[in-house]
Structure formats: C-alpha cells, structure tokens
Amino acid sequence: MAETKEKSLSDEKPKPRVRPIVRLGIFLISHSFHVSVVCCTAGVLALFLLPVLAKNTYISENALMPGSASPMLSNQHVSDGNRLVKDLTNPNSKSSETGIESHKIIAQYMLDLGAEVSFHKFHPQMNQFHPLHFFSSPDSGKIQENYSCSSYGINTVGIIRAPHGDGKEAIVLVTPYNALKSGFGEALSLGIAYSVFSLLTQVTWLAKDIIWLVADSQYGEYAAVAAWLREYQTPKFSSLSTPNAEMCPDVNNLFELKGHSISGSKFSNSFRRAGTMASALVLKVRDQNEQFEDTISIYAEASNGQMPNLDLINVVNYLAVHRQGLRVNVEKLWSLLNSSWLKSLGEIFESLAKVAKSLYPKWKFGIPATEYVEGTATLASSLYYQALGVPTGPHGAFRDYQVDAITLEISPKFSLDKVWRNDILLRGGRLIEGVIRSVNNLLEKFHQSFFLYLLTSPSKFVSVGVYMIAFALLIAPLPMVAASLYVDANSSSNCSKGDSSTPSAITDTDEHSIAIRSWRWLNSAKLVFIVHLWGAIVSLLPYFISQIPDCSPTTSFMIWVLLSILSLLTLNSVLASPLACAKATQEKEWALVKSVTISSVFIGLGLMSVINFATAEIGALLMVPMCLLAQPLKLDVRAGTLRSFCRMICNLVLGHIAFPPAAFFLLKGMLDGFGNANVGDFWMWVESLWAWNSATYLFIVEVTYIFSHG
Amino acid sequence: METFINPKSLFHLLLLPCLLLYSSIAYNSSPVEAAMHTNNWAVLVCTSRFWFNYRHMANTLSLYRTVKRLGIPDERIILMLADDMACNTRNKYPAQVFNNENHRLNLYGDNVEVDYRGYEVTVENFLRVLTGRHETAVPRSKRLLSDEGSHILLYMTGHGGDEFLKFQDSEELQSHDLADAVKQMKEKHRFKELLIMVDTCQAATLFNQSPGVLAIGSSMKGENSYSHHLDSDVGVSVVDRFTYYTLAFFERLNIYDNASLSSLFSSYNPSLLMSTAYYRKDLYKRRLEEVPVTNFFGSVMETIHTDAAYKALSRRNSGRFEDEMSLDQSVHHIKRRMLIKVNDGDEIHDINPEGEEGASKCPWSTFRKKFQKAENVDSLLNYGLVAMIPLLVISTWLVQ
C-alpha cells in the first residue's frame, strides 16, 4: 500500500527509465476502476468456486493408524453400560433436589471399575464482557463475589492411569449430563462412555491416561467444561480461594459415598489431574431424531473461528463411515439447500466442467450440482460459525488451551427396543474406542494436518492456500483505488495551483507548498481516526449499559443508540470543529478522505484475515463494494445524471446493509421471516457475541460512515 | 684369494635374499589368493523409531532369529534396534514382539542380545561398526571384529528414499556413505565377502554408488516396499513383504541345506512383493548358483583335513601368532591351519617375516612381481629349489 503510494509519488517527476514493476503499478493504478471491477467479480466468483475446488481429506499423521486395531468392546461392556443407563433413568435416583444422587451413582460405578474418582465443584461464571481481554489468555477463574451455596455444579471426574505409561499425557472424554432434567439421550451418552471406560480399565495398550468428565450441564455445558478446564490448567496454590465451595454443607455430603469404605484409596476430595491433554471428545446423544439412519454430527468450531486439527475430524469420519457404518454430518445452512439459484449455479459449473473435460480429458474438477449445493451450504455454515466466533459446543473450551477437541452428537433412529439400544451402545462405544486408540498412538501433539480450513463435507475441505485466493482477489483493488484517488487529489490541486500562480513563482515557496500538500492527507487521516474512535466508543458502551440492573433488551438497545449519537455529537464538537471549517473550504478533500479510509480498511481486513479468516471474508464482502462506491451524496445530487443517481442508490442501500443492525435484521428476516424480528434480538445477539470475546465484535466497529462527510 | 676371506658368510649372503624373496611371496599371496571363508558375521539394523514402525523391528528380529538358527553365534551378530517396541506402552503384549498375526512365535525371547538400542543407533555408530573405528571404551561385544576370512551379512530396514536410508527420523545414511564404508572395510581386510540386504522403499538406489559387493534390495527406484499384513490385535503392521518372503524361504531350510543364493534371489515374486527385488552381482566374483545361502545367513564353512596339524602347531607358529591369539581362538585356529598348509615342509618360515619384509621388498621387487604371477606356491617352491642348485655349485666351487 505504502509502496504503491511512494511509487506514484516518485512517478510525478519524469525519469528516463522506469522499472517494469513500477510501470505495472502505474498501469494498474491508472486503470483502477476496471481492475477493481474485475478483481471483485473474480473474488466473489472464486468464493463460489470453493466447493468445486475442495479436496478430499486424508489422514496425514502416520502415527494415528485409525481402524488398524479391531475393536475390543464386547457385549459384556455394553451390558455394563446398559446397567448404568437403567440406574440413571430409574425414577428413584431423581428424588434428590440437587441431583447429587445420580452423581453418586456415576462415581460409584467408576470406583467399581478401579478408576480414580473425584468431584469438582464449581460456581457458574456469568458471561461477562471484558473489552480489554480480547487477546489475553484465559485467566484463572476470578472468584465470584456473589456465589451462593444453592448455585453450584458438580463435575464427576474419573481417571484411568495408563498401566505402562508415564502419565504425561491424557485423553479426555466429556459427557454433559444434567442430573436435574436429564433426557434419555444424556443417560445413553453416559452409558456409551461408561462401556468404553470399563473396557479401557482392562486394556494393556494405553499410553495416555483417560479422563472421563461427566460435566454438570445445569448451568450450560460450556460453563461446566470451562470451569473444570480452568481448574485443571491453572492450579491455585493459595488456600484462600479453594474452600469457598466446601463451606456449603450439603456439598460435603457428597463425599459420603457408600463405596468410600470399600475402595477409599481411589476416591479423593482434592482435584485430580492427569497429563497434558492430547485431545478431547465430547459425546452427546440426541433425544429425538428425524433421520432414518444412525447419524453422527461433528461440531468443530471453537471460539474465534479456531478449528481443531483436521486429522481429528478425519479419524472420526473414517472410523464412523468405514468401521461403524454411521452417517457423518457436519453443520449446514439448511435454508441454502433448497435455493434454486444455487442449484442453477451448480449446474452451470457442472456443465462447464463437462465442456472442459471434453476439451481436455485430464481436467476433472466438476462435481454434480446436488453435491455442489450441499458443499456450498456446508461451506456457508462453516464460514458463518467461524466468523461468528462462538463455539458450537463444549469443545470450544478446550481449544482455548490449545487442545484439539470436537463434539460428537449421535442421533440414532429412535426406538425403545432393547436390541436397538444395545446396538447403538456397541457402535457408539466402538467408535469412541477406535478414536481413543488412534489418538493413543500419537507421539506428538496433532500437528501434521491443517488447522486453517473450511469443510465442505465431512470428507472434503478447502485449505488455507485455496480460500485465501478469493479473499486476496476481493481486497486487491483497495490499495490501487486508494493510490489512484490520492494521485488524482494531488494532481488536481496541482493543476488549479498551476493555473493561478505565475510561472515565475519562487521555487522556495513552491517546494514549501508541495511539502504542505504532501502532508495534507494527515487531515483526512485525523477525520478517519475520529470516526474510528467513535466506533470504538460505541462498541465499548454496551459494557457500561450491561451494568445497569433490570434492563430489558429493547430498552438497553435504545440506550445504546442514544448514547452513540450523543457521543458522536460530542466528538464532532470537541475534535472535529476545526476540521469542519476546513471542510467548507475544501470540498474536494473527500477524495483524500476516501483514500485514507480505504487504506485503513485494507490494513484492517488484512490483519483480520490473519486473526479470523471467515470474519475478514464476510467483512470484505460487505465493505469492499461499499468502500469502492462511496461518493458524497451532495456531488451525486448535483451531477444529476442517471449514472450518478444509480451510484447514489447503491451507496444508500449498501451503507444501510452494511450497518450491523440492518445486516442482522436482513439476515434474520431472510432466514426466519420478517415478522418476528425485534430490536431486542439484536441486543441479545450482541450480548451473546461479547460473551465469547468474539473478534466479530471488534470488527463491527469498523463501520465507517463516509456519507456523513458528504 | 684374499677377497674370499670368509666364503661361508658370502654363501649366506647370497642365499639370504633368495630365501627372503621366497618368504615374502608366500606371505603376500596368502591373504589375496588363499584367504578362506573362516567365519560369519551379521550386522542387523532397524533404523526407524516410533510405534507405527513396529514392523521394522519385527523384520530385524526375525532375521536375527534366522541367522542365529542357521549357526551364527550371538557374539558375531551386531543387532541394532532404533526403538524398543516390546516395552512400548502401546504394545498390547508387553515385552513380546511378533512378526505374524498368529502370535505363534515371540521374537523377543530371553536370548536376544541387542547391541545398539534406541538413540545409540545413529549413522555415526553404524559407520563406526562397519569400519571398526571405535573409541577405546567401546566394548568388544559392540564391535564388528571381522577379518579377511569373514563373510558378513548386512541387513538394514527402515524408511528410505532415493539413495538414502533414514535413521531415527532425524538423520540419513546416504548411498555414498555406505559405499565409502564398504571400501574402507575392503582396504582394511575386514571381510572376504559381504552381502548387503536392504528392505526399504527404493532400496536399490542405496547401491547406486557401487559398494563393490553383492547387494539385494527390496524395491527398485520409484517403487515402495510394502508391509505384508496388519495385526489387528496389536494394531500395527507386523512385517514387511520382502522380509516376510525372505523368512518364508529360510523357514524351509536348516543348517545342512545347500540352497544357493540364486534360488533365494529368484524366490522373490514381484506380484507378491508388490515391488521388484533388485540385486547387483556385477562385482561379485563367484557364481550365485554355487554359493550356498548358509555362506552368509549361517555359519557353515569348508573344513580342511590336515595330517598332524596339532603336533607341529605349538612349536612353529607360537611366535608368529602371539599377538593375534587374543583375538578369537577358533577363527585363528582355522586360519593357522590354512597357513600351515601353505608353508608345509619349509622350516625357514619360522623366522619372523614381518620384520624382514621391508628390507627385501626394494631390491627384489621386479623379481617378486614376476614370481607373483606363478600360480601356486608349490611350483614356486620347486623353482626356488632349482634356482638354488647353481648357487650351491658356485659357492662350493669358490670355497674350494
């Protein structure tokens, strides 16, 4: 960016020889309009081509060897699991108010297997927005001031030590369980986990310890897992913070297990740890299912678009499809599946591929239209969830500690038949066993395969090298347009100066004025900075608004809007007043303002693509056309031609679409129908975003309202 | 006649060079022409680490078992294993290694002697073993103490590529390293014959630099060597194809069999191997049909019958072999016998040849060259005796 600017500057003085790269730069800048049209179209087209360019996944880590060992899970283990399911669904166990009984049952079962058992008590942390904690590491839990004995959760943790292992590594198996209102699915997931656990206590081949975490999900699955992980990863050495939970009387009852006397040595009151986590699996069973076959859904997106290593997904996919005969799903945007324009686009690509193949038989890139539509729907949801930055399940908590984790949700075709139940226990258990055995073979962390990828189906992915092309094409016009605008602004003022001044002007003052002119962009930069500052203030406001007690979403949204406008006016009066008078004199300044804005947007998007690609991509889709088309309304109105009128309309529409609340409503309207859209929803949505310290939130502030300068 | 004051000394003066000439011929010709296959060594190397390379260790241990069964004693086998699969925590059968899914044969029994294990298996150590350039602290059990009568089997398995073999996932043995080591071995008379057997991908490329010996590799350039089968109980592949079929060949044999190397080499079926076994024998002198496999994979050698070998032994050669006696009793027993056969009937050879060799070399070098062409020592002896007759006549005449 800066380079192109310099190039254009140096170009002003005619030189005998210009290097080809400089000449190319000048050419691109002078034709920036055509270049930007071509690049943007190509960028959007490349995005739609991604499902076609997706590659098949492959297991890249040699050590994993999924499915090389035959499963050892037998019917004996399945009947063990069944026993637990029966005990948990037994109405007697639900008599207790806090659900402690069922935790005791689970702990007793674990103890009977010879595992180390401990309870972990936690207080659910309210999701709080910490504007300054975006990039800080997850901190050791701040002690909540206002906890009470009534609101705590209990995680039951069982640990199997590897018989020959060194205890340096561990694999975590998580089953969310709400003791108070557990469905049959949750009990079944515990049954599967238990049958695997009972097998793993017997095997000799474990190299990593196994941790089974029964996460108490009455305050949310994520909160329970996050609390346990925080405790696990950041040990507290001070004695001040620990006894807060133990002070409650009925928590202590928990320790009076009936098995306490039998195998007391295995049970401990303190927090138990195993080694570094190699990976984690979250297992869920869905209660009801519309599918006609047993499917398994994989959820992988963690906070801020981070993904687990692709190998983990590959292993699960391979074992589920080729060993257990389960169908594997990844999240899709279902609304896209039926869209006709996508289908026709897919057909176009298919026919194009056929033509290409007939021309040259080695070109095989076409995929069937239906596959294309599915791939696009999956890709869109992959992009959406990555851009949103909200984890799609409890596995997100692991990613914050650089542990690869995914959530597996088994949705069996439902029937209450006992044979069916045994079958799902067996297959689910064998799948988990296979994944654990495969991960157990690992020698290092997952590192071979991709971390930056988008899925288009469970067995197809687009890697970073491919999808960055679309993004790069999309933002490529920005520096060129900025440079050409800058050059135009400078040269036009030069011309006007040249006309007015006599040729015999003193060179001293001329150089001086050139120096002043070349720094004139600082004025525009100041303006842009003020707008960004305002954006930052607006984005910080919700934190203070959320401190106001008893506020409905709608009112808090209103407060937010009012405060935002107020802050804009204040800023304008305090900082921009000298600028305002300058603006009156120099109406042509807008080109410079636009140039600086585009540069800042370019830098911002470039940086964002490193942090979270999906956010940057979606942001670029919205902001690049807006930046390129932006033009002061006054000028358009004054020109009065058809072309400028069209441009004005485009600007107004784009400007409103890209304004986040508007964008949100449009999306929501498209997906759910406009009827139930509500201002409060936006507030909720934003609230959910801070909860995850989402980078998206940072991004929203990037809205720069050029029109205000018109 | 004043000049011939001491005719007897003159006689000795003339006689001595003749004898020296003869002795030097006899001495020099013995290692080149007449060194016999007297002992067998095996260097078995598994170069790769990690649990998923289980099969490489199983390959090597199977070969170890085979050569041991065919008669090479443990002290003449250098076994190098880069990792310990038997005690890997992932092993379902702790302290056992199998090369077949039927688990009938535990290769890691009580009598396995691993000489280099784990991180000791490096390219440096491997080359030191071959060339014999050890530090003084290295124990004898870790040295390849072969001599000019040794047949050596060098078996290597691991992951390889075009002209290299990976060691320990961190370093590589390149084909010219191997060729250089073999050349050094040859210069140092560390072997009589050497068979290099390699089971890796693109194994044949490892011999591109012409080590000058008999070599066989599991696959040609651009080919992969594949594992034979997966043991779904242990969860890994347990043996490579090339080694599997090599073992299948040897399982039929015992120490008394006379199967030739060519029958071994032709037993490899490319469709079963899924690669083309490649052997180069262009620098090997004998015909493969005449070489029994036990020459390399076992310890079977020709026995020579001598009359009254032990009677003369202690008196004649005690001085000469004194310094070498410490090495290996049985090896030199045979060697000594062989040398006795060469020198049989000539008492003169009891004088120390090493000391006088240097003196005799210079003036008589042309003479010696001519004599070296002679086919066997017996004819040389006859020529020498005939040549002595005129000298004897002249000297007796002078004395008179």
Q: List pLDDT tens digits, range A149-159.
A: 567 788 899 99
Output the pTM of the full model: 0.77
pLDDT given for residue A522 in this prediction:
77
Domain ranges of chain A: 73-125+150-233+265-331+392-455, 477-490+517-577+585-708
Measure in Å the smallest separation between the Cα of B234 and chain A Cα atoms: 6
**SS3 per-residue string spanning chain B:** CCCCCCHHHHHHHHHHHHHHHHHHHHHHHHHHHCCCCCEEEEEEEECCCCHHHHHHHHHHHHHHHHHHHCCCCHHHEEEEECCCCCCCCCCCCCCCCECCCCCCCECCCCCCCCCEEHHHCCHHHHHHHHHCCCCCCCCHHHCCCCCCCEEEEEEEECCEECCEEEECCCEEEEHHHHHHHHHHHHHCCCCCEEEEEEECCCHHHHHCCCCCCEEEECCCCCCCCCEEEEECCCCEEEEEHHHHHHHHHHHCCCCCCCCEHHHHHCCCCHHHHCCCCEEECCCCCCCHHHCECHHHHCCCCCCCCCCCHHHHHHHHCCCCCCCCCCCCHHHHHHHHHHHHHHHCCCHHHHCCHHHHHHHHHCCCHHHHHHHHCCCCHHHHHHHHHHHHHHHHHHHHHHHC
First to last CA, chain A: 25
Q: Which tens digits make up the pLDDT trace of A168-190?
A: 899 999 999 888 877 788 888 99
Query: Minimum mean pLDDT among A2-11, A223-232, A317-326, B33-42: which range?
Result: A2-11
Query: Is A221:A215 a contact under the CB 8 Å cutoff?
Result: yes
User: Cβ neighbours of residue A68 under 8 Å, at least 6 residues apart?
Assistant: B230, B232, B235, B236, B237
Q: Which tens digits make up the pLDDT trace of A351-378?
A: 888 888 888 777 777 778 888 888 999 9
With the C-alpha atoms ordered A164, A166, A171, A176, is the resulting torsion angle positive or negative?
A: positive
pLDDT-derived band of residue A423, with 50, 70 and 90 as boundaries? Answer: confident
Show the tokens assigned to A575.
């900082």
Residues of A in contact with B237 (CB under 8 A): 68
Q: By the CB < 8 Å criterion, does B235 face chain A?
A: yes
Query: A153: helix, coil or strand?
Result: strand
Q: Which is it for strands A169-177 and A276-285: parallel, antiparallel or unpaired?
A: parallel
pLDDT given for residue A553 in this prediction:
66
Contact assignment for B233 to A70 by CB distance below 8 Å: yes
* Separation of alpha carbons A390 and A392, rounded Å: 6
Q: Answer whether CATH 3.40.50.1460 is correct for domain B39-297.
A: yes
**Cβ neighbours of B127 (radius 10 Å):** 16
Nearest CA in chain A to B85: A205
pLDDT given for residue A500 in this prediction:
42
Closest Cβ opposite residue A65 in set B89, B94, B236: B236
Nearest CA in chain B to A443: B50
Closest Cβ opposite residue B232 in set A70, A162, A441: A70
The shares of helix, strand and coil residues in chain A, as percent rounded to the nearest 5, are 60, 10, 30
Q: By the CB < 8 Å criterion, does B86 face chain A?
A: no
pLDDT-derived band of residue A166, with 50, 70 and 90 as boundaries? Answer: confident
pLDDT-derived band of residue A2, with 50, 70 and 90 as boundaries? Answer: very low
Top-confidence residue, B362 or B287: B287
- Relative orientation angle of helices A20-30 and A477-500, to the nearest 10 degrees: 80
- State mean pLDDT over A109-138: 69
- State mean pLDDT over A484-507: 58
Measure in Å the smallest separation between the Cα of A428 and chain B Cα atoms: 20
Q: Is it the case that residue B304 has pLDDT exceeding 50?
A: yes
**Strand blocks (E) in A123-274:** 153-160, 169-177, 209-216, 267-268
Measure in Å the smallest separation between the Cα of A463 and chain B Cα atoms: 27
pLDDT given for residue B318 in this prediction:
43
Q: By the CB < 8 Å criterion, does A162 face chain B?
A: yes
Percent of chain A with pLDDT over 70: 67
Q: Which tens digits make up the pLDDT trace of A546-569?
A: 666 666 666 777 777 777 778 777
Measure in Å the smallest separation between the Cα of B243 and chain A Cα atoms: 21
The residue among B54, B85, B89 with the most chain A CBs within 10 A of its CB, best to mutate, is B89
Determine the Cα angle at A656 with ends A652 and A659, to 5°. Answer: 145
Nearest CA in chain A to B95: A164
Q: Is it the case that residue A312 has pLDDT exceeding 90?
A: yes
Q: Answer whether CATH 3.40.630.10 is correct for domain A73-125+150-233+265-331+392-455.
A: yes
Closest Cβ opposite residue A69 in set B88, B93, B235: B235
Q: Which of A32, A36, A40 is nearest to A486 (CA)?
A: A32
* Separation of alpha carbons A169 and A182, rounded Å: 32
pLDDT given for residue A4 in this prediction:
45
Contact assignment for A443 to B234 by CB distance below 8 Å: no
Q: Which tens digits make up the pLDDT trace of B326-360?
A: 444 444 444 444 444 444 444 434 434 443 443 44
Averaged confidence pLDDT in chain A: 75
**Cβ neighbours of B387 (radius 10 Å):** 12
User: Cβ neighbours of residue A27 under 8 Å, at least 6 residues apart?
Assistant: none
Show the tokens assigned to A586.
């120099």
pLDDT given for residue A660 in this prediction:
56
Averaged confidence pLDDT in chain B: 77
* Separation of alpha carbons B89 and A212, rounded Å: 20
Q: Which tens digits make up the pLDDT trace of B353-388?
A: 443 443 444 445 555 555 555 556 777 788 888 888
The residue among A161, A205, A323, A443 with the most chain B CBs within 10 A of its CB, best to mutate, is A205
The residue among A59, A62, A64, A68 with the most chain B CBs within 10 A of its CB, best to mutate, is A68
First to last CA, chain B: 11
- State mean pLDDT over B187-206: 88
Domain ranges of chain B: 39-297
Give the H or E element holding residue A295. Answer: strand A295-299
Nearest CA in chain A to B229: A68
Top-confidence residue, A271 or A315: A315
User: Cβ neighbours of residue B341 under 8 Å, at least 6 residues apart?
Assistant: B304, B306
Contacts 24+ apart (CB under 8 A), B99-103: B99/B55, B99/B58, B99/B59, B99/B61, B99/B62, B99/B238, B99/B239, B99/B244, B99/B247, B100/B231, B100/B238, B100/B239, B101/B229, B101/B230, B101/B231, B101/B232, B101/B233, B101/B234, B101/B238, B103/B231, B103/B233
Closest Cβ opposite residue B89 in set A69, A70, A165: A165
- Relative orientation angle of helices A75-89 and A418-440, to the nearest 10 degrees: 120
Q: Name the burial class of residue A215, with classes exposed (0-12), middle (13-18) and buried (19+) by CB atoms within 10 angstroms of its CB.
A: buried
Contact assignment for B236 to A68 by CB distance below 8 Å: yes
Q: By the CB < 8 Å criterion, does A547 face chain B?
A: no
Residues of B in contact with A203 (CB under 8 A): 92
- State mean pLDDT over A418-434: 88
Q: So which residues of B are the catalytic ones?
A: 159, 201
Measure in Å the smallest separation between the Cα of A63 and chain B Cα atoms: 6
Residues of B in contact with A163 (CB under 8 A): 89
Residues of B in contact with A169 (CB under 8 A): none
Contact assignment for A166 to B90 by CB distance below 8 Å: no
DSSP A658-676: SSHHHHHHHHHHHHH-GGG
pLDDT-derived band of residue A192, with 50, 70 and 90 as boundaries? Answer: very high
The residue among B49, B50, B51 with the most chain A CBs within 10 A of its CB, best to mutate, is B51
Contact assignment for B51 to A63 by CB distance below 8 Å: yes
Query: Minimum mean pLDDT among A256-270, A370-384, A527-541, B52-66: which range?
Result: A256-270
pLDDT given for residue B79 in this prediction:
93
pLDDT given for residue B122 in this prediction:
93
Lateral strand order in the sheet of B77-81? B116-117, B77-81, B39-46, B150-157, B193-199, B214-217, B278-280
Contacts across the A-B interface (CB distance below 8 Å) = 49
A:180-209 residues touching chain B, CB 8 A cutoff: 203-207
Residues of A in contact with B88 (CB under 8 A): 207
pLDDT given for residue A576 in this prediction:
54
pLDDT given for residue A254 in this prediction:
54
A:443-462 residues touching chain B, CB 8 A cutoff: 443
- State mean pLDDT over A96-113: 81
* Separation of alpha carbons B261 and B249, rounded Å: 11
- State mean pLDDT over A676-701: 43
Residues of B in contact with A68 (CB under 8 A): 230, 232, 235-237
Q: By the CB < 8 Å criterion, does B95 face chain A?
A: no
Rg (CA), chain A: 30
**Cβ neighbours of B112 (radius 10 Å):** 17
Nearest CA in chain B to A207: B89
Residues of A in contact with B233 (CB under 8 A): 69-70
pLDDT-derived band of residue B42, with 50, 70 and 90 as boundaries? Answer: very high
Contact assignment for B52 to A162 by CB distance below 8 Å: no
pLDDT-derived band of residue A430, with 50, 70 and 90 as boundaries? Answer: very high
With the C-alpha atoms ordered B83, B88, B94, B100, is the resulting torsion angle positive or negative?
A: negative
Measure in Å the smallest separation between the Cα of A168 and chain B Cα atoms: 12
Q: Which of A104, A155, A365 is nearest to A260 (CA)?
A: A104
Q: Which is it for strands B39-46 and B150-157: parallel, antiparallel or unpaired?
A: parallel
pLDDT given for residue A537 in this prediction:
74
pLDDT-derived band of residue A15, with 50, 70 and 90 as boundaries? Answer: low
pLDDT given for residue A358 in this prediction:
81
pLDDT given for residue A630 in this prediction:
66
Q: Is it the case that residue A689 has pLDDT exceeding 60?
A: no
Query: Minimum mean pLDDT among A52-66, A396-410, B26-40: which range?
Result: B26-40
Q: By the CB < 8 Å criterion, does B87 face chain A?
A: yes
DSSP A82-136: HHHHHHHHSGGGG-SSSSHHHHHHHHHHHHHHT-EEEEEEE-PPPP---GGGSSS
pLDDT-derived band of residue A619, with 50, 70 and 90 as boundaries? Answer: confident
From residue B103, give the alpha-carbon distance in Å to each of A203, B92, B99, B141.
18, 12, 8, 31
User: Cβ neighbours of residue A129 under 8 Å, at least 6 residues apart?
Assistant: A542, A543, A546, A687, A690, A691
